[in-house]
Structure 1
Amino acid sequence: EQQAAGVSPGYVRLAVGLEHIDDILADVERGLAAATGS
């Protein structure tokens, strides 16, 4: 289903709700740091 929608395994899914933008950015930064090992 994801491939049919044009979503490849290398994509990152970001679901945003009612969180404050600072919380979202902090979560993204932590996730990227964990993924890159930095």
Structure 2
Amino acid sequence: MLVVNPKRSLSFPDYTSVKSESAAELKQDSTSTAH
């Protein structure tokens, strides 16, 4: 995972998309392991 400065992340458009993508991956992982 990428570690971004909190103040800098606000001006980072990619940071939010990356975070949502990783969150989606985590959700898929949790569901796949649950099954």
Gaps of 5+ in 1: 1-15
For this pair of structures, how many residues does the alignment match? Answer: 22
State TM-score, norm by structure 1.
0.48
- TM-score w.r.t. the length of structure 2 is 0.52
* Distance in 2, Cα, partners of 1:31 & 1:20: 16
Give the % identical residues.
5
Corresponding residue of 1:30:
28
Q: Relative to total residues, which structure has the larger helix share, 1 or 2?
A: 2
Structure 2: stretches of 5+ with no match in the other structure? 3-14
Question: 1 CA distance for matches of 2:18 and 2:25?
Answer: 11
Name the Cα RMSD after superposition: 1.9
Runs of 4+ deviating beyond 6 Å: none
Bigger RCO of structures 1 and 2 (CA < 8 A, at least 6 apart):
2
